[in-house]
Chain A
């Protein structure tokens, strides 16, 4: 089970997880969260553990830290060797002395991982005083040093601040400072940048890579983002349904994957560096339920290469030296790269002949932040959207992309008239949507529907799927006959790839992907012609994401739908959109058709966004110079004067502080708002 020999007898791994088994005892039975996982981490190495939610990647790392949720989590087998000691047999006090001293951990959610009532300084100093016995003054000095190391400006003042006074990126820097405090030998980072914007993600990952290389620390990155793996990892472990299915160097796993699941993942992820294919190839079906895992190969049910032998369990065995795969047919599998490039490239549909459906002109939306109390105070204004103009042709998908707080969701809400515009015009099919009211608005609402981001919270948990989908029909009295409603719900469920019997179910009985399909069916119920999709796939796993994107594209072709597709993931937007608008701090920075925008971005912000997003190919990543955008997103309460991007722009000049750039045609059919073009 070990791969120790490949590193030579002398190179003992720093951390060696051997045949680990972890169970969770729940009210519904025993969840076998980790089954026979093994991997090694050597000194100074960056190892990635990649897999979808629930595959056991986080549970494995929490087990290393002995931080499993108690009393539900139980280690039922295996060893975790760290510097010659089995961590699983240590006493609680011995283990505590290792945590934060020799092994540090960085968690996913910087917003909730720091204690809100304790100062930043105390939280960084804590491991120093506990593990290294430093005095208050020594620890304080070291904390200032650490904050400088992780790029926090003005550390002296920050020490006395509290977490809520820092942005998400800054908080994650604080987490890294805490992790580095005692010069650990190993850092485990569990989805360290998933909650962050793409430009901040690049800053944080570059910082971590830099520090671990410089300080000789081994790093385990747990992630679902294949681009991050390709950019940073030396070695990769791919997990699926509680097992390791493939293990090897980054080049091996990305260029010649030897497990059908890994191949499927590589193919189903929308990519920034590849033109749009006909459809995303997807892994059909769902991961198995770990309460009752299937016998044999766990992936067999979804595997296109399945044969009879797959009913027996495949061992994780070498295919080629270091490269391990848990597949009976590992040696016969086709090359992933070849298969991908074979996918047909569709030329962009010519939509110029199509009439305009939605026309937005000089739209602005400002929110007042009220002062509290009777005596009042000054109300402040958040200018969420400023002077935004765009059009969408019938049958077109306009992708609206940008980082959090850029106003993309607000635009969606105003177009839906969930919020009223502060200024500007919105015309839908020639009608004034911005000012429509009463019966007129009712009629328009039937044609404009929405799909929300979070399929977990946007469906009423007390309503059955049938009631959720059927509700719009009865609200608009389209189907007075309840039997017809039922039939129509069945039809809608079939259209989105579910089954009519699911109408009886409740949202909690469905998986994330299925719930999002219900959300889509609800949007389709009124046969709209225009749908606002607000981050419809960002809460979903890669393999499920592909399925939903394909469904949306199919529906668009079949019913001639028009989409406003709001997302932060540039690759997803590239895949689904005909044209793309890039937003920053309430303004559109650049609009162009998809291929032009991605091939030749003109605006410095678009360029920075594309640079920051990693591509799942280690060869490409190695050839790209890291050009992380510096600085933080300014507060929309107090946006910069002139061009809102000038504070972070590498090309900014003095004039950018004063002149608000117009969105103008810089090249045929490519509009950008920058005075330097």
Chain B
């Protein structure tokens, strides 16, 4: 197990390096120049010399391989550089927002899992009855409805029915849990719905598969109570594929809340991302991409470890 984890952690290095190469050169292929945008953005006249000086200050005048080498050197020493736009360290920029994003992602996952597992199970056990139809309608709607639209509906209905709007400023949960939750629960629900729908459908189909297995028939032939057949014999086997989906969706949420954050006016990673991209803030974009890639890989690793915990056939 230890050597497996060490192995997998080592494997992260080449994967992340690949991501780094890709994002670094992709960014530089895309037209646009941060110095132009920053200094001439509001139509002012700035001399070419000033622009050149600014480029030099940011290190953008060096050849690409040298720039890349600088970046890599920085990463290796945990110096991720400064935002080209604000001049603040990117770690600070990200730290200010990541808390909110992670909190929403975790809340959405909890909501999703709490909804998805019972619904998926019921749907599978009452397959092709009205219960199944209602649940499937609910889940397919979750896939079809974009979460930003659902978010707008939530805000509109809160406003028109309760004449209340969630707070706009972010309060960390350890400062005031009520204020925090009353702000974040709504976006968490809006994205959690889609998340729940994805997971519930996975749970449904894997329970249907598992219930056809020979060992379920064996359990019944032993006279095991039907609820025990489901909870003890079917559930653990059926959850394995569901866990993969839960993990991937979670990682996706951390970086993928762009539109929802806009709707709920949240200052999270998604919003920062959009800003960074529109300003061509290379350092910030690169660091965020690396961060999200790391989260993806880490979540995958956690999923694999959970697999081993649930399935005795998998041992590392």
Whether A and B are associated in the same complex: the answer reads: yes
Complex Cα distance A116/B311, Å? Answer: 8
- Residues in B with CB closer than 8 Å to A118 are 232-233, 236
Q: Which residues of B contact A517 (CB under 8 A)?
A: none
Q: Are A375 and B221 CB-contacts (below 8 A) given A112-B214, A117-B311?
A: no
Residues in chain B near residue A100, CB distance under 8 A: 221-224
Closest CB in chain B relative to A677 CB, distance in Å: 43
Q: Does B149 belong to the interface (CB within 8 Å)?
A: no
Shortest distance from the beta carbon of A275 to any chain B beta carbon, whole Å: 40
A375 to B6, CA, bound (A): 9
**A65: CB under 8 A from chain B?**
yes
**Closest chain B residue to A105, Cβ basis:** B221
Beta-carbon contact of B223 and A107 below 8 Å? no
Query: Which of A98, A114, A130, A162 contacts B225 (CB under 8 A)?
Result: A130
**For B157, what are the chain A residues with a Cβ–Cβ distance below 8 Å?**
none
B223 touches A97 (CB 8 A): yes
Q: Which single member of A99, A117, A131, A374 contacts B237 (CB below 8 Å)? A: A117
Contact residues on A (Cβ < 8 Å of other chain), bracket = 35 or more
The answer to whether A96 and B225 touch (CB under 8 A), given A117-B312, A118-B232, A373-B3, is: yes
Q: What CA separation (Å) do A377 and B217 show in the bound complex?
A: 40
Q: Mark B208-244, 1 if CB is under 8 A from A, else 0.
A: 0000011101111111111010001100110000000
B38 → chain A, closest Cβ, in Å? 43
Q: In the complex, A162→B232 CA distance in Å?
A: 15
The answer for the CA separation of A119 and B233 in the assembled complex, in Å, is 11
Q: Which of B10, B218, B219, B313 meets A374, CB within 8 Å?
A: B10
Q: Mark A369-408, 1 if CB is under 8 A from B, else 0.
A: 0001111010000000000000000000000000000000
Q: A43 at the A/B interface (Cβ < 8 Å)?
A: no
Q: Which chain A positions have C-beta within 8 A of B140?
A: none
Q: A67 and B217 in contact (CB under 8 A), knowing A117-B312, A375-B3?
A: yes
**A67-B3 contact in complex given A96-B225, A112-B214, A112-B215, C-beta closer than 8 Å:** no
* A178 interface contact, C-beta 8 A: yes
Task: Please tell me if B22 contacts chain A, counting CB pairs below 8 Å.
Answer: no
Contact status A99-B221, CB under 8 Å: yes
Please name all residues of chain A whose beta carbon is closer than 8 Å to the beta carbon of B223 when the two chains form the complex: 96-101, 127, 130-131
Min Cβ gap A108→B in Å is: 8
Q: Is the interface of B mostly helix, strand, loop or mixed?
A: helix
B17 at interface (Cβ–Cβ under 8 A)?
no
Interface residue? B133 (CB, 8 A) = no
Cβ of B221 to closest chain A Cβ, rounded Å:
4
Closest residue to B220 on the A side, CB-wise?
A67
Q: Which residues of B contact A71 (CB under 8 A)?
A: 128
Contacts of A67 in B (CB 8 A): 217, 220-221
Shortest C-beta distance, B14 to chain A (Å), equals 9
> How far, in Å, is A74 (CB) from chain B's closest CB?
16
A318-335 residues with Cβ-Cβ distance < 8 A to B are none
Q: Mark interface residues in A587-620 (1 if CB within 8 Å of B CB, else 0).
A: 0000000000000000000000000000000000
* B25 within 8 A of partner (CB): no
Interface 0/1 of B275-301, CB less than 8 Å to A: 000000000000000000000000000
Q: Which residues of B contact A92 (CB under 8 A)?
A: 226
Contact B222 A130 (CB under 8 A): yes
The answer to whether B237 and A373 have CB atoms under 8 Å apart is no
Contact of A375 among B7, B219, B232, B237 (CB under 8 A): B7
Contact partners of B225 in chain A: CB under 8 A: 96, 130
Which residue on A lies nearest to B221, using beta carbons? Answer: A105
Partner of B218, one of A97, A98, A119, A175: A175
Neighbouring A residues of B213 by C-beta, 8 Å:
112
Q: What chain B residues lie within 8 Å of A162 (beta carbons)?
A: 312-313
Q: CA separation between A113 and B222, bound complex, in Å?
A: 12
Chain B 228-262 near chain A by CB (<8 Å), digits 1 or 0: 10001100110000000000000000000000000
- Interface positions of A from 162 to 190, Cβ below 8 Å from B: 162, 164, 175, 178
Closest Cβ–Cβ distance, residue A388 to chain B (whole Å)? 33
B138 interfacial contact with A, CB 8 Å: no
- In whole angstroms, how far apart are the Cα atoms of A65 and B225 in the complex? 15
Contact, CB under 8 Å: A113 / B215: yes
Alpha-carbon separation in the docked complex, A64 to B226 (Å) = 18
A115→B221 CA distance, assembly (Å): 13
Instruction: Give the shortest distance, in Å, between A186 (CB) and chain B (any CB).
Output: 12
Q: Say yes or no: B6 contacts A117, CB within 8 Å.
A: no
- Whose C-beta in chain A lies nearest to the C-beta of B219? A115
Q: Given the known A-B contacts A99-B223, A101-B223, are A113 and B7 also in contact in the complex, defined by CB atoms under 8 Å? A: no
In contact, B237 and A107 (Cβ under 8 angstroms) = no
Q: Provide the residues of chain A in CB contact with B232, threshold 8 Å.
A: 118
* A-chain residues with CB within 8 Å of residue B217 when the two chains form the complex: 67, 107, 113
Q: Check B218–A113 contact: CB distance below 8 A.
A: yes
Assess the B311–A65 pair: CB atoms within 8 A: no
* Cα–Cα, bound, A162→B314 (Å): 11
Judge whether A109 is part of the interface by a CB distance below 8 angstroms.
Answer: yes
Q: Contact string, A56-99, partner B, CB cutoff 8 A, digits 1/0?
A: 00000000010100010000000000000000000010001111
Q: Does chain A have a CB within 8 A of B114?
A: no
A205 to chain B, nearest CB (A): 20
A-side contacts of B164, CB under 8 Å: none
Question: In this complex, which of B6, B215, B222, B232 has the most chain A Cβ atoms within 10 angstroms of its Cβ?
Answer: B222
Shortest Cβ distance from B310 into A: residue: A117
Q: Answer yes or no: A633 CB below 8 A from chain B CBs.
A: no
Residues of chain B contacted by A101 (CB below 8 angstroms): 223
Residues of B within 8 A of A359 (CB): none
Q: Which residues of B contact A (CB under 8 A)?
A: 3-4, 6-8, 10-11, 128, 213-215, 217-226, 228, 232-233, 236-237, 310-313
Further contacts, 12 of them, CB under 8 A, given A113-B217, A117-B310: A65-B221, A97-B223, A99-B220, A99-B221, A105-B221, A117-B311, A118-B232, A118-B233, A119-B312, A126-B219, A126-B222, A375-B7
Nearest first, the 7 closest Cβ-Cβ pairs linking A and B are: A100-B223, A373-B7, A100-B222, A99-B223, A162-B312, A112-B214, A115-B215
